[in-house]
A = this chain, B = another copy of it.
Amino acid sequence: MSETKDRPYHHGDLRRALIDTALAMLALDQNWAFTLREVARRTGVSHAAPYKHFRDKGVLLRELARIGFVQLGDAMTAALSSDISSMRGKFVAAALACIDFALHNPGLYHLMFSSDADKTADRQLHDAAMNTFGILLRFLEEAQRSGSFRSVPVSAQAAACWAQVHGLAMLALNRQLLEEKVGNEPVQAALDVLLDGLCRGEWDRTRV
């Protein structure tokens, strides 16, 4: 009522409020059907109000996915800029950051990599995804320059890493990384196998 904020009209930045509500729900439930009406309800507005800010459901979904890629990129950057010395260690940290992000934002992660968020339909979403991928590319270039990683086309290593981490995240989300299937430390173990293919020379697993 007495808000002096720059809230535009009635509600006060309903656009942001809707996004926040949706993000909160996507963080809680990967199986949420994502109904626009539920978002509106939880935000305390009528079910038609969102249409004043998003032409349709898809526009909101893509905006949420875009935010997800930015957040994921931030998490990766943070992990890579930690004071871990070895490239191998940095890689593991970044991969775990991705998987952590997925586990803490299951719905959002699913959305980001689902075709509901069609990247060809939204330039900004496409750019955000490319930016995040670029973080991986730059890291691999550096790791090759430093001699830690083998000198093969960066694009090949990037595809392998992207696929592997994404695959691990999806499997973790869907609870398909059960012990009976893949042992008790599946993520670390799988990353070690990948790293054996990325890194130059041998690596003493027992030292880790």
Residues of chain A touching chain B, judged by Cβ–Cβ distance below 8 Å, are: 30-31, 110, 113-115, 119-120, 129-130, 133, 150, 152-153, 155-160, 162-168, 170-171, 173-177, 180-183, 186-187, 189-198, 205
Chain B residue, CB-CB nearest to A188: B156
CA distance A182 to B133 in the complex (A): 10
B189 touching A155 by the CB < 8 A rule?
yes
Please give the distance in Å from A101's CB to the nearest CB on chain B: 15
CA distance A150 to B195 in the complex (A): 13
B189 touching A156 by the CB < 8 A rule?
yes
CA distance A53 to B119 in the complex (A): 38
CA distance A162 to B160 in the complex (A): 12
CA distance A173 to B195 in the complex (A): 25
Contacts of A189 in B (CB 8 A): 152-153, 155-156, 159-160
